[in-house]
Amino acid sequence: MKFIARWIATAIAAAAAIHLVPGVALVGGSGWGALAVFALVLAFVDAVIKPIFKVISLPITFITLGLFSLLINTIMLYVASSLSGGLFGVSLEIAGFGSAFLCSIIISIVSAITSALFSD
């Protein structure tokens, strides 16, 4: 049940980021179905791959006072986009690193807010 709540929160956050950030668009599908597929892959990447990256990069994150975690979020966005594009044909078209960075910040903020609303 917790993963489903995370999936819904990620879908809402991804929709907000796609709408707000110029240079980011959903490719390979339209509507909520494509967004749900991308959010599922992003939630999976955040649940499985991101903790490994956080442990490996712990010294750098400590030195940068946590700012390196923003870069990890951006990398996870790229990973999720390429995985969902390869597996399901739905991905994010990202114009550049700045757009991806801003998109990952918005996804993190909106996801945290919606996860807090869905938590028990």
Orientation of helix 97-118 relative to helix 2-20, angle to 10°: 140
- Is the pTM here over 0.85, yes or no? yes
Stretch 40-56: mean pLDDT, rounded?
A: 91
Q: How far apart are CA 54 and CA 30, in angstroms?
A: 32
The 3-state DSSP composition of the chain as helix, strand, coil percent (nearest 5) reads 80, 5, 15
What is the DSSP code string of 48-60? HHHHHHHHHTHHH
Are the CB atoms for 98 and 16 separated by under 8 Å? no
Confidence bin at 41 (pLDDT 50/70/90): very high
Q: How far apart are CA 54 and CA 64, in angstroms?
A: 13
Q: How confident is the model over 69-102, as pLDDT tens digits?
A: 999 999 999 999 999 989 998 888 899 999 999 9
Given a cut of 90, whether residue 62 has pLDDT beyond it is yes
